[in-house]
Amino acid sequence: MKKTLVLVAALATGATVLTPGTASAATVTALAFPSGATKGAAWAVNGGNVAAGYVGTDTAFYAVRWNAAGALTKLAGPSGATKYSARDINSGGVVVGSSEPSGAALRWSATGALTVLKPAGGKAFAWASGINDSGVAVGASNDANGQLATVWAANGTATSFGEGAGYAINKTGVVAGGSAVAGIGSRPTRWSATGAKTVLPVAAGQTIGSAAGINDSGVVAGTTLPYTNGIPGVTRAQAWNADGTLRNLPCLPGSTGGTVKAADLARIAPPSVKDLLARTVKDSGTTFRLAAGQCASIAYAVRNDGAIVGGINDGTTSRAVRWNPDGTVTSLGFLSGTTTSLALGTNETGTTVGTSGTKPVRWNG
């Protein structure tokens, strides 16, 4: 039986609300996609326009790096691994990611040499999601007893920041991710370079979520959602200033409302949100109803100028967007022949990467 949940918009008292607007779409270009692959994504891009991500199929995929011209290089995985992906790349071309189902955190040098990063805190497994230009990586170490936000020094030494998961790290070593709050669930979190934890606020009506990106000034981007009686609600992209104050990121103007399936949100959501949707929404037909002017939104990365990239579903389709520093929202557009897109990473020169349909793409402008 299908369930329909009605979304009611509510904003936190005192939160800054950006004024919606539109800007011209960017130019989208397909990145190299090998024959036989059925899906792929570019997760991150550095200042030299070198991108990292994965390509493959549902049963086997591998980490790749695309050069500035879009040509692809396969990165070698752990022995016997058939599912592994890259999640971030720094200015020197060093890449981090992880393998499945072995649960290994991986780092590739600029020449492609692979290092398996050891878990922290005696945990059995690990994954890596972010790396800064000093070569310090962040992710999590986990086992059946829980998960620890983990930072790996450039030499591979692992340090636990306590319960949680880190998804991004800036040049000074400040980490953004999520950590559990007793009786509530995962909340967006920022850790200082020494591991001091700050749980970030969420808007009124929102309950849980996670940060996914952080810039060098400490501005954080992430996603929150309501969670009531075991049922999650529609995701909302949000940002937090360096002082921790909340900013709500707007929908594209002109939305007439519609419906969005929870399963579609789960496919594009950041890991902590994806896991929650997957665990709690058992009926793949579960649908959220959006009123006019409302949307489901997700934020993944933030530039030093304050621009944030991610995705919006307005009840008609999911599209890659950029929330600009001036408060406008740019719909980045789709690759020809596709009708969905999602922005996952961006660099300081304005290049954005992600997916369109099932293919990895790059947007300029």
For 102-116, give the DSSP string: TTEEEEE-TT--EEE
Rounding to the nearest 10 degrees, give the CA dihedral for residues 206, 207, 212, 215.
60
Q: Domain for residue 199, yes or no?
A: no
Pair 44, 66: CB distance under 8 Å:
no
* Tokens coding 289: 């109803």
The answer to whether position 91 is within a domain reads no
Residue 352 lies in a domain: yes
Residue 37 maps to a domain: no
**Rounded-to-integer distance, Cα 148 and Cα 153, Å:** 16
What single DSSP character describes residue 118?
P
In a domain, 196, yes or no: no
Of the candidates 93, 144, 146, 141, the one whose C-alpha atom is nearest the C-alpha of residue 116 is 141
How many domains, in total, are found in the chain? 1
Q: Cα separation of 191 and 198, whole Å?
A: 6
Q: Structure pTM?
A: 0.90
Whole-number Å distance between alpha carbons of 84 and 100: 6
Which of 257, 266, 316, 264 lies closest to 289 in space, CA to CA?
257
Residue 60: predicted pLDDT: 97
> Which residues have C-beta within 8 Å of that of residue 36, sequence separation ≥ 6?
57
- CB-CB contact of 169 with 175 (8 Å): yes
Residue 291 confidence (pLDDT)? 86
Distance CA 76, CA 4 (A): 44
**pLDDT reported for residue 254:** 85
Q: What is the pLDDT of residue 264?
A: 73
Report yes or no on 59 lying in a domain: no
The pLDDT value given to residue 194: 97
Whether 269 is in a domain gets the answer: yes
Give, for all 365 residues of the chain, the pLDDT tens digit: 332 222 222 222 223 333 344 555 689 999 999 999 999 999 999 999 999 999 999 999 999 999 999 999 999 999 999 999 999 999 999 999 999 887 999 999 999 999 999 999 999 999 999 999 999 999 999 999 999 999 999 999 999 999 999 999 999 999 999 999 988 888 999 999 999 999 999 999 999 999 999 999 999 999 998 888 777 788 899 999 999 999 989 999 888 888 887 777 776 666 666 665 655 554 445 788 888 888 999 999 999 999 999 999 988 889 999 999 998 999 999 999 999 999 999 999 999 999 999 999 999 98
- Sequence-distant (6+) residues with CB within 8 A of 148 are 120, 121, 123, 140, 141, 142, 160, 161, 162, 163, 164
| 137, part of any domain | no
The predicted pLDDT at position 268 comes to 67
Is residue 12 within 8 A of residue 319, CB to CB? The reply is no
Residues 6+ apart with CB under 8 A from 29: 70, 361, 362, 363, 364
Strand-pairing partners, residue 186, are 180
The amino acid sitting at 246 is L
Strands (DSSP E) contained in 11-60 are 16-17, 22-23, 27-30, 39-45, 51-56
What's the alpha-carbon Rg for the chain, to the nearest Å?
Answer: 19
Say if CB 265 and CB 310 are below 8 A apart: no
DSSP state of 324: -
What is the domain range of residue 299? 1-30+209-365
Enumerate long-range contacts of 34-37, CB under 8 Å, 24 or more apart: 34/72
CA distances from 155 to 19, 71, 93, 151, 191 (A): 45, 30, 16, 11, 21
